[in-house]
Amino acid sequence: MTTAGTLETVSENCSHGGVQGVYRHASASTGTQMTFSVFVPPHEDGAKLPVLWFLSGLTCTHANVTEKGEFRAACAEHGVIFVAPDTSPRGEAVPDDEAYDFGQGAGFYVDATQVPWAQHFQMRSYIEQELPALLAEHFPADMQRQAISGHSMGGHGALTIGLRNPDRFRSISAFSPIVSPLNCPWGDKALGGYLGDDRSDWREYDACALIEDGSRHANLLVDQGTADNFLEEQLKTDLLVDACKSADMPADIRMQPGYDHSYYFISTFMAEHVGWHARHLQG
């Protein structure tokens, strides 16, 4: 029987001189089996390597970025471990919704408080506490050198987790993130469903609100495509620009002409993000 802290190896493949693995374990946070991927680049025996977390978007699993993200060459070059968790608990006993933007595949990286979601949808605790402990136990990870990134819903996760834990994550980046769930339909549905109607409870899961409420980080990089069909209604990058400007918080927020919401966009800039994080993870 698999217990928390014990890993089952689903697959391991050699890549760029390192090992791309997929692993499964019984999660105490979600009460389910959880699957995640880890790329460990080539390294000397006994070496501890910095860690880059990547949180994926709506409908995704660990597999989307693992198969399409094109991160391994850059991670091998810079000596960075790349970790890709799933986006939610899964299984027959886990509540779900018929829509793609709520339920399984749409955990929004929150700790749910509402029935029936609270029993399993504890993704904040899973990402911030349980999975890092598992990583430190089983992989050559230097947990004093961590960075975080993500896409769309996962960009929201990276921004909020990074802003809440600035001493843990040396740098934060995002691709087409949901910057303010308080101000978009995806956020209204997800945070209302998982956390209830009191919108003050949502603020710790909203990057712009966190900045307004005093959270700061010195190293923030965001890339957003101008041809992204979710930009105006859901992502609203301009709100993050305004929040950073009002707080006098430095941020490199770049609008990339012609790029959409897909992994063609992410993979184009992924190596640059890995290298940017690697510079902040040195030493």
Among all residues, which ones are annotated catalytic? 152, 228, 261
Longest dimension (CA), the chain: 52
Cis upstream peptide for 177 (omega within 30°): no
Token output for 121: 């949808």
Token output for 8: 């089952």
Token output for 176: 């087409």
Q: Is 10 helix (H, G, I), strand (E, B) or coil?
A: strand
What are residue 27's phi and psi, to 5 degrees? -90, 130
Degrees to nearest 5, angle at CA 171 with 40 and 86: 50
Beta strands (DSSP E) in 56-163 are 81-84, 141-150
| DSSP code, position 73 | H
Report the 10 Å Cβ neighbour count for 167. Answer: 5
Token output for 98: 């018929």
Strands 8-15 and 169-175: unpaired
Report the 10 Å Cβ neighbour count for 114. Answer: 13
How far is the C-alpha of 139 from the C-alpha of 73, rounded, in Å? 19
